[in-house]
Structure 1
Amino acid sequence: MSFLRRRFGGGGGGGGGGGDDSDISTPVLSREPSPGPDGKRPANLRLITAEQLQTLKKKGQHKKRRNVWVFGLGGLFGLLMAGFFASNNDMIDLKSLEGVNLESIMEALPDNFISSAQQLQKTERDAVNYDSFAVGLHAQKQGIKARHPVIMIPGVISTGLESWGTEETSRQYFRKRLWGSWTMMRALVLDKAQWKRHIMLDKDTGLDPPGVKLRAAQGFDAADFFITGYWIWNKILENLATIGYDPGNAFTAAYDWRMSYMNYEIRDQYFTRLKSHIEVAVRVSDKKVVLLSHSMGSQVLYYFLHWVEAEGYGNGGPSWVDENIDSWINISGCMLGALKDMPAVLSGEMKDTAQLNAFAVYGLERFLSRYERAEIFRAMPGLSSMLPLGGNAVWGDETGAPDDAPGQNVTYGPFIRFRNANSTMTQKNITVDDSLPFLFRNTEPWFKKMIQTSYSHGVAHTTKHVEDNQLLPAKWVNPLETRLPLAPNLKIYCFYGIGKDTERAYYYRSDDDPLSGLNVTLDTMYTQDNVDHGVVMGEGDGTVNLLSSGYMCTKGWKMKRYNPAGVKVTTFEMKHEPDRFSPRGGPNTGMSCPHCRFFLIHREL
């Protein structure tokens, strides 16, 4: 029988002098009861012999020993599990413990524990190795080699954030990633208050709160994996390396995606450093640079193209882009925003949370409530750069929307909808034009101020209006209010997915829970036709709607006022054709992840 299942009995001798207790004489008991403080006998008073008292003492000691042993064993097991999941380079490899007598521990574990752990490790390894180097090897056979220096600008949330704070509350996380690692998951579970304090920016300045210093991780490690086994740019790096790229001619321009764009420069001098990287790469290689951007990274790059030319900012002048940048490869760029950003900051919800079952919703609310999620999202003003741009001119109104399908019964135009119009909060459906005022009425004043001073969401209908906006930093994120650089030799390649259900509009209702801290919540009870748990589904790549990823590439930048220099824009739409056996959809998926499309991107280029 395992020692874990034995009872720890008390052998002879005992400890603490207990072995001599039998020789100690017991005084003769009085026949009168012992009085209490008030002269009365306590109701719970009970007389026992010395032998009975000693037995009770021994039982208490044995119970304490069992508790200490169980606690120690649990700690050892937790350490083993933490090491197992910490990274690919396992802190503790179970095979290395073969020479240690762990039979008793193994007997206490479920029969299939080891096989399940090994299968999990194998699945993770298979996911990492999926299609490794295949595209690069194919290109290599065709004689393709590295030519232009490449700089990659990651998308939202895909850059890891690590702590550099040295105050007492931050020291335990020094140089550990509080976003994009298992450290984040552990901190979120075990130290949620401190994790929130570190991850949320100051609500007045939009910069680090006092005593906190979180910075974007740098180098290729910054964006190749989100957490172990969930790759983002890793596959692109593998295949670029196959055709001759290395740290000498390929770079990752990681950034702290939580901040508003102007604060990138104020705190981290991000745009100054990016400009210098490009100029050095051009000088060293004598070739212009190719820029790759993904998702929100495309908005950041578009902002940079204006900053770098502007007097008083980058001071590069109107010819800088044409002299230094050969091509811009825009992968799933949310040029007109991501609609799912609105419910995230409004009520801390999106399709991913709306589709959870009741049990999962209960667990999520207990762990990280809707209000807490909304609070975190609002305190990351960089995310709000993806609130929808262009208003009703792009997204439609009650009478119709540009992406309405032929014969569609209900238009996509109303963006925020209410089935019950009796409440003062829900008198009418709301279009994209009206959604920002509605958002500001249901959020704090500091959030409204931060968004209005950092971004602009309108449309410029004349060339003069566009040229005037070139001088206003708040307009630089919006391609409908500003123009492309005067760079006739620049080439833009747009790649985006189609054919995958993507969030397009939302059904809301009043939030009747007085403890939630919110006024409205998604109407998750409503599912009908193309409405899934209160989320109206439309066309896109699963994350970015087609109007956002495709409009500027196929039409907007064909207009003279938005592209006066005639920059050549080439568009590739990639239909969502997932591999049913691949956890990430395979090389032909239309999902919004950079390597998910890399095979098609290479084939087209």
Structure 2
Amino acid sequence: MAPRPGRELAKKGWKPKHPIIIVPGFVTSGLELWSGKPCAARYFRQRIWGSLSMTQSFMGDKACWLEHMALDNTTGLDPEGVRLRASEGLLGVDYFFPGYAVWAKLIEAAADMGYDTNNLIGETYDWRLSVPNMEARDNYFTRLKWRLELSLKTEGEKAVVASHSWGDNVFRNFMVWIGEDDPDWVEKHVAAYVNIAGPVLGVAKSMTSLLSGETRDTAELGLIGAFLSDNLVPRNERVKLFRTWGSAMGMLPVGGPDIWGNTTWAPDDTLEMTKQNVVKKHDVDSAVKILLKNGGPLFHDHVVKWGAVHADERSCKASKGSPEEYYYNPLKCPLPKAPSMQIYCLYGVGLPTERSYYYLNLESDKAMRKSEEESETHQQYEVRWKMDKDASGERHGGTISYGVRTSDGDGTVPLISTGVMCHKHWREKQLNPAGIRVVSREYLHEPVAAYKDLRGGPRSADHVDILGHMDVLEDILTIASGHGDDLQDKIISDVKRIADNIKLDVGCD
């Protein structure tokens, strides 16, 4: 029988105390068609992302499906005549499609302890949108504010907000956004923030999806990669789709070489790599420059508006223009003025995770120079780079497979992104002036045999499957029942050494 952590906690007499607000992650919640082209008329109010009908609509007419999944290339909002909207509530987050659980196991565990739809809420959103466009188009931050205020009024307790993956970036942006109008708002409404597998400093595979349309068959972005395979959709079509999604730009690696390493050093290099002084051809800054050049001026402007990758070194905001042009920089924006709130970072370790790549340039330097004179639209979608999938083996203390060098992480987000801020910088006064208690808890990936469970079973710490990890479920319910003070750091990785290797000037001047 599958473990039921909610029932076990209920046997101890634990009950719901704080309402739980779920903020889901990238690609793992449903999108419904509310308005579309004639080719999609039969899918009105059906999910064209996150259901079996997604496969039906895609296989029936791939061009139609891709047209509806893309955002407007210029605005990052709805294309003319097309409206997709997030499936609402717990039904929008429980299963990606029948049999593929996302938040379903937490919902079940919470119900076992006494939660229901009055105090367990899924606050879904269109995960394709950039952070500012979430508010500009759908008033998502305003609605999230109202939801938390209503929860406090009806339940009489501040909420526990649980985010997953990209949802961490969304909720941290929300806390800065709301704090600009009312610095005490988070303190009044949020008891704890639970960041599950958040790509705080970005994720390497966002670079490959935007540069060449390539993704590995791992979670989240890999869900797209498995669906949009080379045999079904050419790489230039995938690039065209991905580069309309502001969220993908928001997950580009943040912090430059100080965090992600330069051509001879990286803070998470193994001892063997350090001894051999491995020389890398490009560091993260030069890779970003290649991406921005290949994407063209419009794409460059979108990254500036919607991502923290090249944020002003002295500012919290990436842009100080209109309200639609901001993305808060995690290395510069302090945590909210909420001394009684607690932050818990829960993430998996022990899985090979994409960290860097071997690439081939498909054109000569002359052709690259010529491309700069081409039209902006043509330049934006032309793919001039591809992963060198012949690069494999053990090299210089690192593992390389099909052009990808891996490091420790949860299979999607490397440890340097999930763990470093929680373990170090968010515990220092520059970024935590209110002295918020920050707890880091790591979970070793311990899957069962595939014939027992294809997704690894109750101790899988994979990026998505961790939402069903029995210890994670117990920890979330421990926090929500008011016993969060019982949870302390649980570190089993090398994150302390990695964090200590990073010498970074954080915070606003």
Could you say which TM-score interval applies, normalised by the shorter chain?
Answer: 0.7 to 0.9
Query: Which residue of structure 2 lines up, in the alignment, with residue 559 of structure 1?
Result: 428
> How well do the aligned residues superpose, as a CA RMSD in angstroms?
2.6
Report 1:103-502 matches (<5 A).
Answer: 131=2, 134-165=4-35, 168-310=38-180, 315=181, 317-352=182-217, 364-408=229-273, 429-457=281-309, 465=314, 476-502=327-353
Q: Give TM-score, length-normalised by structure 2.
A: 0.83
Query: 1:342-401, CA deviations, whole angstroms, 9 ceiling, x for partnerless residues?
Result: 001100112329xxxxxx99x943411111111111111112211001111111112211
CA distance in 1 between counterparts of 2:9 and 2:178 reads 34
Amino acid at match of 1:522: M
Measure how far apart 1:168 and its partner are.
3.2
Distance 1:466 1:207, change over 3 A: closer
Measure how far apart 1:166 and its partner are.
5.8
Measure how far apart 1:597 and its partner are.
2.7
User: Any conservation in 2 of the 1:475–1:481 contact (CA below 8 Å)?
Assistant: no
CA distance in 1 between counterparts of 2:214 and 2:361 reads 14
Distance 1:517 1:458, change over 3 A: closer
User: Any conservation in 2 of the 1:511–1:521 contact (CA below 8 Å)?
Assistant: yes
Query: 1:239-277, CA deviations, whole angstroms, 9 ceiling, x for partnerless residues?
Result: 101111111111001010111111111111100000000
Distance 1:408 1:231, change over 3 A: same
Unmatched segments (≥5 aa) in structure 2: 219-224, 368-377, 479-486, 488-509
Measure how far apart 1:444 and its partner are.
3.2
Amino acid at match of 1:592: H
Query: 1:488-519, CA deviations, whole angstroms, 9 ceiling, x for partnerless residues?
Result: 11100111111110001000012269999421
Distance 1:500 1:565, change over 3 A: same
Query: 1:513-532, CA deviations, whole angstroms, 9 ceiling, x for partnerless residues?
Result: 99994211000011111100
Query: Which residue of structure 2 lines up, in the alignment, with residue 570 of structure 1?
Result: 439
Amino acid at match of 1:329: V
Report 1:25-40 matches (<5 A).
Answer: none
Measure how far apart 1:177 and its partner are.
0.5
Measure how far apart 1:226 and its partner are.
0.8
Distance 1:136 1:183, change over 3 A: same
Amino acid at match of 2:467: H
Distance 1:324 1:470, change over 3 A: farther
CA distance in 1 between counterparts of 2:32 and 2:277 reads 40
CA distance in 1 between counterparts of 2:186 and 2:245 reads 30
Aligned residue for 2:59, secondary structure, equals helix
Query: Which residue of structure 2 lines up, in the alignment, with residue 86 of structure 1?
Result: none
Query: Which residue of structure 1 lines up, in the alignment, with residue 222 of structure 2?
Result: none
User: Any conservation in 2 of the 1:403–1:412 contact (CA below 8 Å)?
Assistant: no
CA distance in 1 between counterparts of 2:266 and 2:308 reads 22
Query: Which residue of structure 1 lines up, in the alignment, with residue 492 of structure 2?
Result: none
Distance 1:185 1:202, change over 3 A: same
CA distance in 2 between counterparts of 1:275 and 1:172 reads 35
Aligned residue for 1:399, secondary structure, equals coil
Measure how far apart 1:228 and its partner are.
1.5
Equivalent residue for 1:585, pick from 447, 456, 463: 456
Distance 1:283 1:494, change over 3 A: same
Aligned residue for 1:394, secondary structure, equals helix
Query: Which residue of structure 2 lines up, in the alignment, with residue 426 of structure 1?
Result: none
Query: Which residue of structure 2 lines up, in the alignment, with residue 540 of structure 1?
Result: 409
User: Going by fraction, where is strand more abundant, 1 or 2?
Assistant: 2
Distance 1:446 1:468, change over 3 A: closer
CA distance in 2 between counterparts of 1:393 and 1:278 reads 37
Amino acid at match of 2:361: S
Aligned residue for 2:273, secondary structure, equals coil
Equivalent residue for 1:602, pick from 474, 481, 485: 474
CA distance in 2 between counterparts of 1:571 and 1:218 reads 30
CA distance in 2 between counterparts of 1:299 and 1:413 reads 32
User: Any conservation in 2 of the 1:389–1:457 contact (CA below 8 Å)?
Assistant: yes
Query: 1:390-422, CA deviations, whole angstroms, 9 ceiling, x for partnerless residues?
Result: 1111111122111011122688987xx6xxxxx
Unmatched segments (≥5 aa) in structure 1: 1-129, 354-359, 418-428
Distance 1:410 1:303, change over 3 A: farther
Distance 1:336 1:468, change over 3 A: closer
Measure how far apart 1:294 and its partner are.
0.5
User: Any conservation in 1 of the 2:264–2:277 contact (CA below 8 Å)?
Assistant: no
Query: Which residue of structure 2 lines up, in the alignment, with residue 522 of structure 1?
Result: 387
Between the aligned residues of both structures, percent identity stands at 37
Amino acid at match of 1:187: S
Distance 1:182 1:601, change over 3 A: closer
Amino acid at match of 1:384: M
Query: 1:540-559, CA deviations, whole angstroms, 9 ceiling, x for partnerless residues?
Result: 01011000000110011122
Amino acid at match of 1:540: G
Aligned residue for 1:444, secondary structure, equals helix
User: Any conservation in 1 of the 2:89–2:124 contact (CA below 8 Å)?
Assistant: yes
Amino acid at match of 1:388: P
Aligned length: 447
Distance 1:439 1:195, change over 3 A: same
Distance 1:466 1:195, change over 3 A: same
Amino acid at match of 1:163: L
Measure how far apart 1:595 and its partner are.
2.1
